[in-house]
Structure 1
Amino acid sequence: MKKVFSILILCIIVLTGCENEKKNTTKPKLVIGIVIDQMRYDYLTRFADKYGEGGFKRILKGGFSLENAHYNYIPTFTAVGHTSIYTGTTPTNHAIISNNWYDKYLKKEIYCVDDENYNTIGNDGDGGKKSPYRMLTTTIADQLRLSQNMKGKTIGVSIKDRSAILPAGHTANAAYWFDGGAQGKWISSSYYMNELPNWVNEFNTNGNADAYLSKPWTTLYDINTYTESVEDDNNFEVTFKGQEKPIFPHDIPTLRSKNNNYSILKAIPAGNSFTTDFAKATITNEQLGKSNYTDFIAISYSSTDYVGHQFGVASKEIEDTYLRLDKDLENLFNFLDTEVGNGNYTLFLTADHAAVQVPSYLKSVKIPANYFSVTKFKNYLNEVCKEHFKSDKLIENVSNYQIFLNKEKIKSINLDEHLVAQKLADEAINYKGIYKAVTAKTLQTTTFTAGILNKLQNGYNQKFSGDVLLIPNPSTLSTYYKKGGTSHGSGYSYDTHIPIIFYGNGITKGSSKKKYEIVDIAPTISNLLQIEFPNGNTGKIIDEVLK
């Protein structure tokens, strides 16, 4: 009898274990990728005392946070960041080398998602002539669709077109972005559909955009409590057009007409709330997380980037923007609990890049910083060419800290293009503000395994990048920003250190101080979903994140 009882107990234990194993390996019904444009890691810690319990703190406490996560390439721009997150690789493979770049085949500057083969869906403008065709590899979302024989839905949502299009991938059911100016509507491209769904048309006519623009932008809490930021009235910020000083309150209803009408919504925290509203409407109306397949929505919050560019990373405006975003995230998470079900979804939250402190502010506190004139630098390079090669027509383009040679001219006067490139690299390093200069040939023949040249190499694409690649000194921005505000793009830690937080189904609780790279997100989510990695993947699975 004892033997029979023991066998029964053993069977129960085994069956219970099998059931638990089954529960632990159940795939989420919905995956949500959240990218916060221009979010530095230290925004999590700087404003922590003012965050509520339901936004950032909820996923930090209930999920897994990587405290030492970085971008592993140059340049750290929006299109490149979103692409690298979702493809699990760098520009070397996915070929999105910037937001805009000089196309040496077309002999002109191009934009990452422009595509004249498609038309705008949602209005009669040109804002929807877009597609992901310049991205040469698949995304997590593509691989999920392929693994389910094109079942399940994948949708991208962002105020910025590139931030909706590139993450959602080539096989997306839809990507939606906000067309500002006089339009004020969410639109798409004929790449995805022939007409907007009825629910999008209804959303566009519900008056929410105008409602958000009908109120001044005031601080969420008493501005005197915003002790984590510099004085509101300072010389390091840019005003809205029509505003005398860049200080609170910002009278949005009055400023709207002088700041491209609906486009001002992108540049205030309400743009993030508006994005949350549209993301929730997408999930509800597309019934995401309700089928027998796993769905995917890529959400990108762009207003943080616009605010950061205009006011800088130490401003009252950026502090208020993140305190309000914290509430938007709480709103979204509570909605997911109700609509999809707590335990039925998995999300990750990260940023497409960070940002540098305003260089003029750094200079005011005796920290080295600089503004760089591309025009003056190009003139210097032309003088170098005249001195050494008797011609100032050897350079075709200088942009994104890359030099593109005029190879036809070089060939016509019987010069060696590699010799010209090396001379330019040797002389560029003597120019004030340039820290490193290497030729494309060097990047093709030498492997840099660490340091900033490794990041430069990861961002170099042999087919599309320039002939000489440059790295400026730390805390250097274009002279465009001399009037105030900040930007990003470098391989220094202020641009590369970003949050990565995983939360939900299949994710363990905890944190790690180990160094991880942005390309590690895609293989980690792929492993969670038990699907193939994106086809250009160079990242690794972060196994300590997964249960």
Structure 2
Amino acid sequence: MKKLVAYCVLSCAMAVNAQKKPKLVVGIVVDQMRYDYLQRFKDKFGSKGFNKLISEGTLFENGHFNYIPTYTAVGHSSVYTGTTPSDHGIIGNNWYDKELKKSIYVVDDENYKTIGSSSNEGKKSPKRLVASTVSDQLKLAQNFKGKAIGVAIKDRSAILPVGHAADIAYWFDGGNQGKWVSSTYYAKDLPKWVQQYNQENKLVLDEYLNSPWVTQENLAHYHESTLDNKHFEGTFKNEEAPVFPHNLPALKEKNGNYSLLKTTPHGNTMTLDFAKEIIKNEALGKNKEYSDFLAISLSSTDYIGHKYGPASKEIEDTYIRLNEDLDDFVKYLNRKVGNDNYVLFLTADHGVVHVPHHLIENKLPAGYINGKAIYEQLIDFTFKKYNTTKIIENVSNYQVFLNHAEIKTLGLSLEKVQNELVEELIDYPMVYKAVSAKTLQRAEFHKAPLSLLQAGYNQKISGDILITLTPSIISGNAKTSTGTTHGTGYNYDTHIPILFYGAAIAEGKKVKAPVNITQIAPTLSNLLQIQEPTMSSLEILEEVFAKSNN
């Protein structure tokens, strides 16, 4: 009987502990991280960093984005709101505003000013994000107690994750500034400790800029990547070839001075170093009554990936270095916050396609498309068909925006014009699918890519026609283009890691079933015992709650 009582006490204690709210949630989004990097660089990671999170946490091996377009602002918004662009209202980094008749940037807001520097980099806010984020819901649930802070090199990657009610978001002002800045949307001035940190940190940034970027390990041991000198990789201004070492001291003047650090692994290091200072100075995870939220985005992986591509030596070196930084950051969390007091999740905002030239060189299908040529073809088509050049108002982000007023003036049917343009576009080389707004509003698609286009279509702000290209085709010039990009619904852009680690998270569990990125926010809401974000998916990742593999 005593054994039975003892067992009950132990099991009940474990159940209570499993439901204990974490004192701190740390979100890490690695910008442009493909899932296969975990496998390609596994041996280079050793037992630290990524491999430590995998062995001691829960890994979802088949996590995907469930919409098009897979861009940075869209990805961060979807992770933290638990929904897709069709609902949260972020359809790109930039997009054509049908009301303003111009292209807008996702977080620009002239109502606010910069705090922390003399530049205009702080004229930002989250006003275009329609849905709430999980950190917004945490603030609401705690009567706006506890802290919610975002940090990233990119402004959009710092602002959108922590939503509307954040205490503050920080991003990096490069150029001649070299400072972490914010917006008067959050506060009148930077905290004193940040002002001091910016002054003292200049010495560290100068040290980075005044030393060449050399590989962490012997370049000859980088077997997971292609040759160092490839014609399809980008170069810095005044750099002859895309090869190691990259002579930062000689390049800084022509490449934006402190902005140059964004396209080196130092950008990730300085972001995580600043995140440590935030944890320390804001006492995150130390409040006995309330939980805190820290959203970190590591942007340099994206800058480097765009320039050199996923097969490059630069990407391999970046992830080897990031693995060390990540391991150091987790150790810091364990010391400062305590192993049982925080939950950390790690994911990406999108993946990336291999540089098309690299694929072509290895006999794989790929290529380049001229976006301007598509626009000109459509103008020519509408002139011949409707005797006007005013029907096409804008073509951007693989969307066609029509001039509704002109169509009405001509006495044409909007739906018929949309359908006729779809029929025209589908005959263009490298266009795989084209679908009209009216069709997306009326039909319900269940198979990619049309289902992904539908999840990315926002009735209020998206265009009249949405396009997706054939796989491994990107905008550019086949002769002169270097580097690569992302944005599609193909696996290379949608398949990303989803990792949970920390208090009450199952250890050593690998989940093979397919899951969506929009399940992260409701899972965090469940962990925090709060209401889900306003438009969130209600599907949680149940596997993270288990205490064993049984």
Matched, 1:117 2:111: yes
SS in 1 for 2:160: helix
Aligned to 1:284: 280
Question: Is the Cα contact below 8 Å between 1:52 and 1:327 reproduced in 2?
Answer: no
Which one of 308, 318, 326 corresponds to residue 329 of structure 1? 326
Q: How does 1:12-411 map to 2 (within 5 A)?
A: 12-206=6-200, 207-292=203-288, 293-411=290-408
Residue 526 of structure 1 corresponds to 525
Separation in 2, partners of 1:356, 1:453 = 20
Distance 1:287 1:321 in 2: 30
In structure 2, C-alpha distance between the alignment counterparts of 1:506 and 1:532, rounded to whole Å? 20
Structure 1 residue 542: deviation in Å? Answer: 1.0
CA offset digits 1:450-499 (Å, max 9, x no partner): 22110000000000000011011110111168421111000000000000
- C-alpha separation between the residues in 2 aligned to 1:144 and 1:331? 28
Deviation of 1:11 (Å): 4.1
Match of 1:493 among 462, 473, 491: 491
Partner amino acid for 2:490? Y
Is residue 521–residue 539 contact of structure 1 (8 Å, CA) maintained in 2? no
2:544 maps to what in 1? 545
- Secondary structure of 1:205's partner? helix
- 2-side partners of 1:47 and 1:9: how far apart? 48
Give the whole-Å Cα distance in 2 for the aligned partners of 1:192 and 1:525: 24
Aligned to 1:475: 472
- Supply the AA of the counterpart residue of 1:301: L
Mean CA deviation greater in 456-465 or 410-419: 410-419
Residue deviations 1:134-167 (CA, integer Å, cap 9, x gap): 0000101111111111111000000000000000
Q: Give the SS at the match of 2:337.
A: helix
Partner-residue secondary structure (3-state), 2:467: strand
Read off the aligned partner of 2:295 and give its amino acid letter.
A
Distance 1:467 1:313 in 2: 33
Residue deviations 1:344-366 (CA, integer Å, cap 9, x gap): 11010000000000011111122
Where 1:380 maps in the other structure, the secondary structure is helix
Aligned residue pairs: how many?
Answer: 541
Distance 1:231 1:276 in 2: 30
Distance 1:403 1:523 in 2: 34
Cα RMSD for the two superposed structures: 1.1
Q: Is the 8 A contact 2:215 2:244 kept in 1?
A: yes
Identity of aligned residues (%): 54
Deviations 1:6-36 (A, max 9, x none): 3x55444433333222222211111000000
Shift in Å, 1:66: 0.5
Kept after mapping to 1: 8 A contact 2:61/2:498: yes
Alignment of 1:437-456 (within 5 A): 437-456=434-453
Task: Check the 8 A contact 2:32/2:349 in 1, yes or no.
Answer: yes
Select which of 481, 497, 507 maps to 2:505: 507
**1:284-310, CA deviations, whole angstroms, 9 ceiling, x for partnerless residues?**
000000002110000000000000000
State the 1:201 CA deviation.
0.8
Task: State the TM-score, normalizing by the size of structure 2.
Answer: 0.97
Where do 5+ consecutive residues of structure 1 fail to align?
1-5
Are 2:18 and 2:545, in contact at CA under 8 Å, matched by a contact in 1? no
User: Which deviates further from its counterpart, 88-97 or 505-514?
Assistant: 505-514
Amino acid at match of 1:217: W
Deviates more, 1:180-189 or 1:537-546: 537-546
**Cα separation, 1, equivalents of 2:256 and 2:6:** 68
Q: Give how far 1:332 is off.
A: 0.4
Contact 1:279 1:299 in 2 (8 A): yes
In the alignment, structure 2 segments of 5+ residues that lack a partner are none
1:342, distance to aligned residue in structure 2 (A) = 1.1
Give the deviation of 1:544 after TM superposition: 1.3
Aligned 8 A contact 2:17 2:504 in 1: no
8 Å CA contact 1:506–1:528 kept in 2: the answer is no
Q: Which amino acid is 2:517 matched to?
A: I
